[in-house]
Amino acid sequence: MQTLTHTFRYLFGIIFIALISLPTCAQASDHKLVILTWSEYLSEDLIRQFEQQFSAELHFVYFESDDHRDQIINQTGGKGIDLILVNGTNLDLYVRRKLIKPVPWELLPNARHINDSWRDAFSASSTYAVPYFWGTLGIAYRSDLVSKPFTSWKQLFDPAPELHGKTLIVNNSRDIIGMALKSLGYSANSEDTKELNQIMSLPLLSNPALAQFGYITLDADSSLVKGDIIATIAYGGDALNVAEHDDRIRYVIPDEGGNIWVDYFALAANTNNTRLAMQFLNFINQPENAAINAEAMYLATANTGAHQFLPEAILKDPVIYPDTSLLEKSELYRPLSPQAYRTRATLFSRISR
């Protein structure tokens, strides 16, 4: 099934890109921008404003996971896409595969509002990528259905009986293996084969009956709201979204710390819409716009200039802006050695279904 779904996704991506590529060749591409990104990851208001202001059309190709995005890129070589939303970890790979090109920073005056630490977070980020949102990875759980609040990754990977079969594992090898490593006290970026092999001894990963695979939906029908799932690895923003439907849902960054992710927009290597793309990036990084976007998305924006326009509720929200000590224990996913990737791929193929 998994294979089939993937295949379907490839096909979908290829056909879509083929369709949108065709007119690109025929007419002036100045007014049309194709963006590969998560769904609902940009304020609708901003989209409308931009399209009016620049007489442009924004087309979006959505991916459902990092793997999915990679697959779309693999199949098409990135042709027909102007802007790609890439997480910091993958930037290096995209640079190496020549899928993205350097950002002409001179076309992005509003870059000055962006926090430097996010611009420099990854080796390739300062050259190739414009920081967008950042956030954390932790545990979302139903406080009413657990006997003890979550404070550690161990509680997730060695679940109490009440959690058996009701713990969700996300289908992402970096997250699963990374957090499993953290639960064992190792770095989420460990390349040590011994340390990596140890994760297979964690009950949640070695016993298929204990876990479910996938990702929670964020609506009122979410399995977390219904109680079919009691705990899951989740992004802080997602946790906030789903918690709006049920205030018994809690989000926590465990004591070991979690992962800090940063999303970047990068210019597709083959784009010939660099100007419009840069106009778009500049537009969304205007502090007021960035604030509108952050408020709409309920996420921590990389645009520090936007803070002055944001309400206290967002700025003081511990989920969006967690305690500094927890952030210090948390890690960015660093690029790894090929052998480490090989080991992790083999391990993950055994974990996932």
**Rule CB under 8 A: which residues touch other proteins?**
2-3, 6, 67, 70-71, 74, 93, 96-97, 173, 335-339, 341-342, 345-346, 348-350
Instruction: Find tokens 């992402």 and name the residue.
Output: 172
For the chain, the residue count is 353
Handedness of CA 114, 118, 97, 60 (dihedral sign): negative
CB 231 within 8 A of CB 142: yes
Nearest to 233 by CA among 162, 287, 183: 183
Q: How far apart are CA 182 and CA 174, in angstroms?
A: 12
CB atoms within 10 A of CB 104: 12
Burial class (CB in 10 A: 0-12, 13-18, 19+), 54: middle
Nearest to 267 by CA among 257, 279, 259, 258: 279
Contact partners, residue 1, CB within 8 Å, separation at least 6: none
Contact partners, residue 119, CB within 8 Å, separation at least 6: 111, 125, 126, 131, 302
CB 30 within 8 A of CB 94: no
**Residue 16, both tokens:** 């879509």
Contact partners, residue 59, CB within 8 Å, separation at least 6: 20, 32, 33, 34, 35
CB 167 within 8 A of CB 153: no
DSSP 142: E
Give the shortest CB-340-to-other proteins separation in angstroms.
8
What are residue 168's phi and psi, to 5 degrees?
-100, 135
